[in-house]
Amino acid sequence: MVVKASFGSAPGGSAVSTYALEAGGARVCVTDFGATLLGVEVPDLWGRTADVVLGFGSLAGYLDDPACYGATIGPVANRTDRAEVPLGGTVCHLPGNDGPDGRNNLHSDLDHGLHKRVWDAQVDEAACAVLMTTTLADGELGLPGNRTFSARYALASHDGAAELTVEYGCETDAPTFVNMTNHSYFNLEGHDRAVVLSQEALLEADRFIPVRADSVSEGDPVAVAGTPFDFRSPKRLGTDILADDVQLHRARGYDHCFCVRGFEPGGAPRLGLSAYDPSSGRSLQILVTTPGAHLYTGNWLSDEDAKDGATYGPRQGFAFEPEFYPDCVHHPDWPQPVCTPEVPYRSTIVYRFGTGRPWE
C-alpha cells in the first residue's frame, strides 16, 4: 500500500508530497523533496513499533539541513579535493564549500544539490514502490551532460524481515561523473532515544580509507587489523571510538569509508553492515553494490525541533552511506563510477530490518 499526502510547498512554490509505503508490519515514509527518506517504523523484539530513522517532522527542517538527514546525495557524494573533477581531458569545477577556505567540495552543492530539489514522482501500488526522477542540464552543478537521475524506493517483506530497496540511476547524453548515496541516520532503539554507542556492528570490510585533517581521502586504503576500525567481529560502536588514534581524532569518531569485500561492477547487492540494538532487539543489515560505504557516527549532530519534538546531539544516530570511494576521481587506480550514454550509472541499497543478532 502507498499513501500520498501533502508536505507543504518548496521555496519556489512547487508542491511537496510524502509517500507512505506499508508492507509486512513495517511503514516507510519518503518525500519527493530531495528523494528523501523521512522515516522507517519497524517492530522490536516484543512487537512494539518505533521510527528508527532520524529526521524532521515538517518540510521546513529539510530546507536547512546541514546533516542531510535521509537525503539522496548527488551527483557527487562525499568530499572532493580542491572541488575539481578531471574528466575527459578537462577539469570540471564543483562549488568550493568545505575545508580550509572552502577549497574542497562536500556533497556537490549543499544548497542546490539533488537533495534540495523537488523530484517528479510516480507511484507503483502493485510493487509498494515510488519512482522519483529529476534532471540536470549540461554544465549544471559543474558537470557535463544532460542528466536524468532516478531514485526508486520499494518496500517488501521476506522471511519475517522488512526490506527497503533503494535503486539509484543516472542517464546522460555525454560522459559524466556520478557517485550518489543515501544519507540516512539510524538509531535502532528509536530516533529520539539515547546515543548509539551501545549498538553493535559488524562490517564486511578488511580495509578503510584514512582521511587528512580536512577530511579528504588521504591515500590508499589501509588494513583495519590492529586498529579501532576493525569491525570484522561484532562490537559496540562505542568500544574504540575514544581510542588514542589520529584518524579518530581528526574526525571526532568514525567518519570514514570502508572497503566492502567482494565488489564487482554490475554485481548484485552484497552485505556491507550488520547492526543490532541490545535494548530493543532490533537489527539492521545494509546490502550495497558500490565498492565502499561511509560509516559516520553522527559526531557533529546538533539539531533541535526534530520530529516528535526530539533534539539530536552527537552520536545519536549512525549513517552507513554506500558510495564509490571518496575523491576516487583523483585516484584513477580506484574503482570509478561509470556514466556514459552507453553505460548508465546504477547502484542499489537494501535495508533489511528484523530482530535478533543477525550474525547468530
pLDDT of residue 160: 80
The per-residue pLDDT for range 147-178, each reduced to its tens digit, is 999 999 999 998 888 999 999 999 999 999 99
Assigned C-alpha cell, 221: 586504503
| From 107, 115, 183, 191, active-site residue | 183
Q: In which region does residue 159 sit, left (phi positive, over 0), alpha (psi from -120 to 50) or beta (all else)? A: left
299, pLDDT greater than 90: yes
Residue 107 annotated in active site:
no
pLDDT of residue 262: 97
**Distance linking the first and last C-alpha atoms of the chain:** 32
Q: Is 100 helix (H, G, I), strand (E, B) or coil?
A: helix
Q: Count up the domains in the chain and report the number.
A: 1
pLDDT of residue 187: 98
339 domain residue, yes or no: yes
pLDDT of residue 175: 97
Q: What is residue 303's DSSP assignment?
A: B
Its domain, for residue 228, covers 2-355
Amino acid type, 176: T
CA nearest neighbour of 44 among 56, 30, 29, 26:
26
Helix, strand, coil in percent for the chain, rounding step 5: 10, 45, 50
Residue 294 annotated in active site:
no
The per-residue pLDDT for range 47-65, each reduced to its tens digit, is 999 999 999 999 999 999 9
CATH number of the domain enclosing 88: 2.70.98.10
| From 41, 167, 321, 323, active-site residue | 321
Q: Do 94 and 108 touch, CB atoms closer than 8 A?
A: yes
Share of the chain above pLDDT 70, in %: 100
pLDDT of residue 159: 82
247, pLDDT greater than 90: yes
Instruction: Give the pLDDT band of residue 132 (cuts 50, 70, 90).
Output: very high
CA nearest neighbour of 360 among 261, 257, 258, 285:
285
* Mean local confidence (pLDDT), 261-268: 96
360 domain residue, yes or no: no
Q: DSSP states of 183-248 as a string?
A: --EE-TT-TTSS-STTSEEEE-EEEEE-B-TTSSB-SS-EE-TTSTT--SS-EETTSSTTSS-HHH
- Answer positive or negative: Cα dihedral of 184, 21, 52, 275: negative
23 domain residue, yes or no: yes
CA nearest neighbour of 77 among 326, 358, 287:
326
The reply to whether omega before 75 is within 30° of 0 (cis) is yes
The per-residue pLDDT for range 179-233, each reduced to its tens digit, is 999 999 999 999 999 999 999 999 999 999 999 999 999 999 999 999 999 999 9
* Mean local confidence (pLDDT), 139-146: 97
Longest Cα separation, the chain: 58
Contacts with 31 (C-beta within 8 Å, 6 or more apart), sequence order: 7, 16, 17, 18, 19, 38, 59, 62
pLDDT of residue 315: 97
Q: Are strands 129-136 and 147-158 parallel, antiparallel or unpaired?
A: antiparallel
- pTM for the full predicted model: 0.97
174 domain residue, yes or no: yes
Cα Rg of the chain (Å, integer): 19
